[in-house]
Amino acid sequence: MLRSRVLTAALGGPLLLVAVWSLPTSAVAVVIAGLVGVASWEWLQLLGVGPAALRAGLTAAFLLSLLPGWLLLDSALDPAGLLYALASLWLGALAWLWRYARTDTLPVPAPGWGALVGWLVLWPCWLALVYLHGSTPWGAFWLTFVFALVWAADTGAYFVGRAWGRHRLAPRISPGKSWEGALGGAGCAVVVAAGLIAALRPVAPPLPAVAALAVLAVAASVVGDLFESMLKRQHGVKDSGGILPGHGGVLDRIDSLTAAAPVMAAARRSGAEIVPVDSEHNAVFQALPPHKQAGREVERIVLTASGGPFRDRDPQSLAAVTPEEACAHPNWSMGRKISVDSASMMNKGLEVIEACHLFELEPQRVDVVIHRQSLVHALVGYEDGSYLAQLGSPDMRVPIAYALGYPERIASGVGLMDLVATGRLDFEAVDERRFPCLRLAYQALRAGGGACAVLNAANEVAVDAFLDGRLRFDRLAPVIEQALAAEVPEAPRDFDSVCAIDAQARRTAESAVRRFAE
C-alpha cells in the first residue's frame, strides 16, 4: 500500500504542479472543479445516495453551482467577506467533531442533509483554491504552498505517528491518528513552508508570518481530515472511493484541503489596502484594474524617469560633477539627497524594489524608461496589448490628494496639463553606462535576503560622502557594489536585525569610501 501511495503521489503531484504553474487561472479552476466534482460524487456515494443517475445529476448541479463563484472572483467585488464566512463554517465542523468524539450516539445524517454538508465543504474549497491562484501574480506559489503544506502535514503525521504515536488524537473517530503525529505533521509543514520561502525569497512574505499561516492551515487541515473520517466511520466505510491506488478516493486526498484552503485564503486576504503616495507608485495604482492588484492580466508595469541633470552627459565626464550640478534637477524641486539619487537614478532603483513589493511583481515585470517631460508618471501594460498611463503635472499635490480622497477624487490645487502646449512625449532606454546604480538595484532585488537593505545603507553613505566632497560622483556605484559584494545577509527577521544589517553595510561602505579617497 505504501508503495502505491508513493507512486501515485510521484506521478500525480508533478502533473498538478505543472497545471498550477503553466495554466491560466480559468484553466486551473476547471482542473480543480474536476477534482472536487469527483469528490462530490464520492461524497454522495458515501452517503448512500442512489441510484447512479441521481448522483450524476446532483454532481452536475454541484459543478454548475461553481459558476457564481467564478463570476464573483472575476468581478471587481472583494470576496474577503465571503472567504471569512466560509472559513468560519469549520468552527461548526469542529463542534460536531467534539460532540462525536465524546459519544458514539450521534445519528447518521439523512442523505439530503449530508449532501448539503458536502456542498458546504467542497464549494468553499474550490472557491478558496481558485482565489489563491488568481488573487496575485504569485498565486501559483500560494496554491503550491497550501498543497505542499497539506501534503507535508499528512506525510509527517503518518510517519511520525507510526514511529512515536502514543497518545490518541480522536480514538472514536480515527484510531490511527495521534497527537505526536499531528505535531510532527505541523513541524514538517513549517519546514516545507520555510523551504518554499527560501527558494522564492526575493518577493516572498516574511518567514514568521508564513510560519504562522502554515500552523493555522495545518490545524484546519487536521479538522478537515477528522471530519471526513467521522463521516466514513458513521457510514461504516474505510475509503471514500478507489480511484487513486493506495490513496482511496479523491475525497480521501482533499479532505485536509477542504478546511485548509478556505482558512488559508481568508488569512491571505487581510482586508487592508495600501494607497501609495510616491508619484510613480500612485500612478501605477491608478492604472491598475478595479481590484487594484497586478494580476495575471497585467503583463508589466513601466516606471518613468526624467533622467536627471546628466541624461545627455558623456559618462566619461561624470568624475568632475559637483554637488551643485547633481542637485539641479530639470523638472522637480527636491532635497539634496533625493536630487543626487535622481541624478544617479538610484531613486528609480529603489522605486523598482518598492513596486515589486507593493504590487507583488517579479523584477522582470518592472521596466524603467527615460521620459524627459516627467508628465507620464507610470504605465501598466496588459496582456491584450494595451497600456494604461497616468499623466499629470510634476507636482506632488496630485498623488497626495488622490491618496487622501481615495476612492473618491478631490481637488489638489493643480490644474490640468495643457496637452497642446505639451506637444510631444518622449521615451528612451536607460543607458546603464551612465546610470549603473539602476543595475545594482535590480541585482539586489534578485539576490533577496537583506541585499536591498545593504543597497539602501551603502547608497546613503556614498551620497553623504559625495555631498561632503569626499567622493567623486562616478564612484557612488562602485562603493555600493563593494558593499553588496561583501556579503548578502539573510532576510531580516525583526527590527533589530534590520538595524544590524544597516549598520554593517554602512561600515563596509565607509571603508570603501576611504579607499577611493586615498
Nearest to 309 by CA among 264, 339, 269: 339
Please indicate if the annotation marks 99 as binding a ligand: no
Please indicate if the annotation marks 335 as binding a ligand: yes
Please indicate if the annotation marks 348 as binding a ligand: yes
Beta strands 174-178 and 168-170 are antiparallel
Please indicate if the annotation marks 371 as binding a ligand: no
Backbone torsion region of residue 271, taken as left when φ is above 0, otherwise alpha when ψ lies between -120 and 50, otherwise beta: left
CA 422 to chain centre: 39
Rounded to a whole number, what is the largest CA-CA distance in the chain? 90
Length of the chain: 518
Please indicate if the annotation marks 5 as binding a ligand: no
Please indicate if the annotation marks 165 as binding a ligand: yes
Please indicate if the annotation marks 166 as binding a ligand: yes
Please indicate if the annotation marks 280 as binding a ligand: yes
Residue 122, helix vs strand vs coil: helix
- 8-state DSSP, 110: P
Residue 177, helix vs strand vs coil: strand
- Within 13 Å and on the Cβ side, how many CA atoms surround 486? 20
Burial class of 317 by CB neighbour count within 10 A (0 to 12, 13 to 18, 19+) = exposed
DSSP for 200-246 reads TTTTSPPHHHHHHHHHHHHHHHHHHHHHHHHHHHHTT-S-S-SSBTT
Please indicate if the annotation marks 412 as binding a ligand: no
Q: How many CB atoms lie within 10 A of CB 68?
A: 11
Please indicate if the annotation marks 518 as binding a ligand: no
Q: Are 323 and 467 in contact (CB under 8 A)?
A: yes
Q: Which residues pair with 368 in a beta bridge?
A: 303
Sheet with 376-382, edge to edge strand ranges: 366-370, 298-305, 376-382, 387-391
Please indicate if the annotation marks 167 as binding a ligand: no
Q: How many CB atoms lie within 10 A of CB 125?
A: 25
d(CA 387, CA 381): 4
**CB crowding 214-242: b at 16 or more within 10 Å, else e:** bbbbbbbbbbbbbbbbbbbbbeeeeebbe
Please indicate if the annotation marks 423 as binding a ligand: no
What angle is formed at CA 244 by the lines to CA 215 and CA 234, rounded to 5 degrees?
70
User: Which segments are annotated as binding site for NADPH?
Assistant: 165-166, 335
Annotated binding-site residues for Mn(2+) read 278, 280, 351
Binding-site residue set for 1-deoxy-D-xylulose 5-phosphate: 279-280, 306, 329, 342, 347-348, 351
Residue list for the binding site: 165-166, 278-280, 306, 329, 335, 342, 347-348, 351
